[in-house]
Amino acid sequence: MSLPNRSTYMRSIARRLMMAVSVFTVTGIAASYAAPPKAVDEQPAAKKSAAKPATKPAAKKPATPFLKMDEVPYPPKLPNDAPSATDRSPDFLKRPESIPADVAVATTPPVVDFAYYPGQNYPGNPWSNWGDSIAIGDKYYASIGDHAAPGGNAFIYEYDPAAKSFRKIFEVKETLKVPEGQYSPGKIHSRLDLGRDGKIYFSTHRGSPKVAADAYGYKGDCIFRTDPKLATTEIVVEGPMSKHSIPTSVLDPERLIFYGGTAHGLNAELQGIQFVAYDCLNKKMLQTNADGPPRYLMFAKSTGRVYYVPASNNAGKLVRFDPAVGGAPVPIDAELGVRAATGETPQGKIYTVSTGQGKGEAELWSFDVKTEKVEPLGNGAVGSQAYIASMDADPTGRYVYYVPGAHGGSEQDGSPVVQFDTTTRKKKVIAFLAPFYQQRYGVALKGTYSTAVDPKGEKLFITWNASRGTKAWDCCALTVVHIPESERP
């Protein structure tokens, strides 16, 4: 199937708008002219009891004319094929209706750079980001993937904010070179972490659980390390846990121990989420245990210990693995939620957030790595969306940044970029990005699993799952939020 050109794309939008207008003409106008019901306190009691049920159903709102994945153009482009856009607008500080009046909003709008990731030259399933990113020096590194299966593909890009340019440093298919029709992972679901050897460590994950099977030659996903300067990659180990992928990870950068939580394939002997501790220096497994971390691990750099909440533990009771001691992870007297976590701050704290999906609240927590004591910090949400999948502390340890609404829905609150002050324990939105980018560039910023603060604490990088008219999302985009100095005193 040939990819749509821009004229086809615009005709497709026009068709849908005409459909929406016709539906609105038939139903929407009739509904708007219907007499409004009387208020309850205006209706006499006698008439209430005699009231009959309505014989006609209420008019339905016209359906949004969403585009299909193959009806938007690839690669995604800005107007006039511009490689990037830089904006600063008071609109970034306009409070959406879903944000309560008591939520603080910054007074100085930031400068924001915007760009689409390269390599998105065909419809994905969809193109998306799932793994956390990293800022190293003056560069930013993030992963995206096509989520395809069985022959998926994923990439890591370096972004230079000074040149406003991307450079590809890793591609799954170029590295694995598997035969057509065989398993190739469509996602990098793990973190990107920098080791003391200057290499970036990460692991991959399947595009669909159905293809992680013998029928597609599946042996298990790999741990990789990529030299960001040379753009060369080494497979550290293939399938450290046989026939499992590794969607969750964190690296001990000094000991080069790769910690992970796995996801079993269809034909794996061991089922369920496993905890793995793999020595990348000596290429040997140090520890495996059942009931591993489903989504995130906390790493204490000063002690070398890792902590996580086991998959079966809904109460949030932490376990600890200490490489100096070895053996199975041991429970500790601490409870908190760990859907995302910062690194250890200069004050010896790790900040975490609970899942916040469904009806759950995104509770913020502080964990002291020396005393192993936990302190609740309140709800991290600022509006209707609570799911937070990435959070970053600035180099001073005072400010923590995150974006609620990770798995779509962020735009319902304006895609708020939140700054949490660990000293005052107060939240502040430093920008609402969604309305501006929807109006100016026709792109909806739906959510993110991938954020990073630069080493100076001046820039917040956000890799977005973005929509150009599709129901969910269809591409990945980057914003670089230049945090005003006045908003981080």
* Domain residue extents for the chain: 1-34+56-65, 76-128+390-489
Residue with tokens 């089922």: 271
Q: Is the pLDDT of residue 34 over 60?
A: no
- The two beta strands, 426-432 and 104-105, are parallel
pLDDT attached to residue 359: 66
Work out the pLDDT band at 63, boundaries 50, 70, 90. low
The percent of residues in the chain predicted with pLDDT above 90, rounded, is 84
Listing DSSP states for 411-449 in one string gives GGGT-EEEEEETTTTEEEEEEE-HHHHHHHHS-EEEEEE
pLDDT attached to residue 314: 78
Work out the pLDDT band at 52, boundaries 50, 70, 90. very low
Q: pLDDT for 414-437, tens place per residue?
A: 999 999 999 999 999 999 999 999
Q: Is the pLDDT of residue 313 over 70?
A: yes
Distance CA 295, CA 124 (A): 24
- pTM of the predicted model as reported, rounded to 2 decimal places: 0.87
Work out the pLDDT band at 482, boundaries 50, 70, 90. very high
Closest C-alpha among 118, 168, 114, 124 to residue 145: 124
pLDDT attached to residue 235: 98
pLDDT attached to residue 25: 35
Structure tokens at 116: 């689409």
Distance CA 458, CA 454 (A): 6
Give burial (CB, 10 Å; 0-12/13-18/19+) of 42: exposed
Over residues 256-280, the mean pLDDT reads 97
Report the chain's mean pLDDT, rounded to a whole number.
89
What is the residue type of 181?
G
Q: pLDDT for 370-411, tens place per residue?
A: 999 999 999 999 999 999 999 999 999 999 999 999 999 999
Q: Is the pLDDT of residue 7 over 70?
A: no
* Phi and psi angles of residue 412, each rounded to the nearest 5 degrees, phi first: -65, -25
pLDDT attached to residue 64: 67
Q: pLDDT for 141-177, tens place per residue?
A: 999 999 999 999 999 999 999 999 999 999 999 999 9
